[in-house]
Amino acid sequence: MVGIIVRRRVGPKGQIVVPKVFREAMGIEPGDEIAMEIREGELSIRPVMDPESFIEDFCSIPKERLTRKIDIKKILEEEVEERLV
């Protein structure tokens, strides 16, 4: 999906429509939660995955799984602390 640019107008209430091709590529469906972030003058929009699902998907390897438990709360706390510094 790299390199595709689509222009949209912002509606009177500040709303934009995310084109279907982008929603499909990112797995965004009606009712999903998204996160928006401003980085270096650009607006980033991405789907939000709950931390437990993210860790489970990220750490799952076909036919194998991690053998030790991951402390999700600790990971999230460290991330928050890092972003606040």
Please say whether the beta carbons of 9 and 17 come within 8 A: no
d(CA 69, CA 64): 14
Q: Is the entire prediction scored with pTM above 0.75?
A: no
1-48: in CATH 2.10.260.10:
yes
pLDDT tens, residue by residue, 37-78: 998 999 888 888 777 777 777 777 666 666 777 788 888 888
List the structure tokens of 53.
């699902």
Q: Domain extents for the chain?
A: 1-48, 49-85
What pLDDT is stored for residue 6 in this prediction?
Answer: 86
d(CA 3, CA 14): 25
